[in-house]
Structure formats: structure tokens, C-alpha cells
Amino acid sequence: MPSVTLYHWEPNANSGKPMLALMEKGVAFESHYLDLLNFDQHQSDYLAINPQGTIPAMLHGDRVLTESTAIMEYVDEAFAGPRLMPEDPRDRWRVRWWMKLMDQWLGPSFSMIGWKVFVGPAVSSRDPALLKAAIERIPLPERRLAWRKAISGEFGEEELKESQRRVALGIRMLEQELEKRPWLASHEYSLADINGFNLAYALPLAQPALSNDELTPNILRWLRAVYARPATKACWAMGRTSMVKRVEILEQPHIGAGKIA
């Protein structure tokens, strides 16, 4: 069996998706931690693997795989272990529907808020000349723009307002869907839950007025159920920054509006 190497950042968003999928399948992998805040993903050794400089990337033998959701589907198909896609065609459609919504519509809004609140402040105090040089090495122009905005606090009011609108709508959609079944896309745990959890695990911390035990009991039940899984615990134990501690809010037995751990 060819070896597996995963290049990733924190168990969060895009990096966390293939990390958790591999752990749910019981696939051993060599972990290469890339410090996103130190621009490791734009160094020459990683660009030789993934010229776009995006995280994550997975090596399976001589195959180089990028794009987190596509990697998850590959992991589920290529390795033995519990199936992470349901058998029923309608449920499989629902899994892919939710993953597309997360990746293309809701995820970018979570990301913009996260860049403003966490990523930008985490690096903005560094030497401006070094930051400028690091940004100029970024291969993708849209990522260069995002970094500049995050560091300088230039995300516009309208951009942030639209992201907040989408987050609020997404929370309502998740709550309604999770009222129908125990997991997001079917009655079985699936890739949709892995995808969604990696974006939404800190919702009651980041959006306490919108997601709490009173307003979104189904979301909180679902988040706690995913967090209770042994693979999730093992995955989050690999985190190195303070970001990973946000998941600890799910250990609280009751989260009310406005409560922040």
C-alpha cells in the first residue's frame, strides 16, 4: 500500500477536512504541519509539491492531490474503513449539495470573518518589509489580495455585512436541516458532517447570539456529537495554535446567548 503524506495547517476549515476523513477511515499518514501564519505554504519546497501554494495537499504514493473536498472523496474511495458516503443516491446528492454550499457560499463568509478576527491580527505586528516580501511570493493573486486586506484591516463594511448575512442564513438552514435527521445529509455520519463541522465547530463561540442551546438546539446537538467521536478528538489534538482551543466550548453542557468561553 503506498504511503500517505498530508500537508496541512490547523484542524480547521480546509486542512481539517482531509485530516478528519483520514482519521475516520483509520488511515495512517505522515503529518507535515505548515504554519500558515509563517507563510510556510509559499516556501519553495512546498510550492514544488503544490505550485498554487494552497493548503492542504496529500501525497498517496506518486499521486499529488489538492482541494480539500476532492481529497476527502478520494480518501473515502481509495481506502478501506467505514464508508463516509451513504448508499442511497438521494442521500449522496444531499451530501454533495451541502459540501458545495459550504465550499462556495458559506465557507468563504466564515473565512472572511476569521481572517479579520484571527489571521490578520496574528501577523499584522510583524516587520512590514518581511510581510510585503512574503505576500509577493504568494502565487495566486486572489490570495495576495486577501492577505493584504487581512493585515491592513481593509475588508470593507459591505463585504463584512454580506458575510454576516450569509452566516446568519446558513445557521438557519443548518438548524432546519438538522431537525430532520441526526446527521447533516443522511441518517449516517458522512463527509457532509466532516465538511460542515470543520467550518461550524466554533459557531457558539464566534456567533453566540445566533447559535446557542436556546436558538439552535439541533446545531449544538450535532456539533457535540461530531466532537465526541474519537477521530475528532485525535484530529483536534494535532492543533498547535490557540485556534484549536475554540472547540472546547462544545464541552460545556449548556451554551446560552451571549456566552463566550
**pLDDT (tens digit, 9 = 90+) per residue, 231-240?**
999 999 999 9
Please name the helix (run of DSSP H) or strand (run of DSSP E) that holds residue 54, with its range, or none: none
- pLDDT tens digits for 139-198? 888 878 777 776 676 677 888 889 899 999 999 999 999 999 999 999 999 999 999 999
DSSP assignment of 201-254: TTHHHHSTTTSSTTT-HHHHHHHHHHHTSHHHHHHHTT--SGGGGGGGGGGSS-
Average pLDDT, the chain: 91
Domain range for residue 57?
4-78
- Give the H or E element holding residue 3: none
Average pLDDT value for residue range 223-252: 95
- Could you tell me if 198 and 111 lie in one domain? yes
How far lies 258's CA from each of 112, 175, 203, 209, 216, in Å? Answer: 22, 18, 12, 5, 13
pLDDT(254) > 90: yes
Query: Within this chain, do residues 213 and 236 fall inside the same structural domain, yes or no?
Result: yes
The per-residue pLDDT for 260 is 43
Helices (H), the chain: 13-25, 44-47, 68-78, 89-101, 107-114, 120-123, 128-136, 141-152, 157-178, 191-200, 203-206, 217-227, 230-236
For residues 11 and 118, membership in a common domain is answered with no
pLDDT band at 84 (very low <50, low <70, confident <90, very high): very high
If asked whether residues 39 and 116 sit together in one domain, one would say: no
pLDDT at 77 > cutoff 90 = yes
* 28/66 same-domain check: yes
24-66 tens-digit pLDDT: 999 999 999 999 888 999 999 999 999 999 999 999 999 999 9
Place of cell 476569521: 114
Amino acid letter, residue 7: Y
24 within domain boundaries: yes
Q: Is residue 106 part of a domain?
A: yes
Over its C-alpha atoms, the chain yields an Rg (Å, rounded) of 18
> End of a domain among 57, 78, 99?
78
CA distance 210 to 162: 16
**pTM of the predicted model, to two decimals?**
0.89
Cis before 56 (ω within 30): yes
| pLDDT over 90, % of the chain | 72
Mark whether 247 and 177 lie in a shared domain.
yes
Provide the pLDDT confidence category of residue 115 given band limits of 50, 70 and 90.
low
Say if residue 18 is in the same domain as residue 96.
no
Total tally of structural domains belonging to the chain: 2
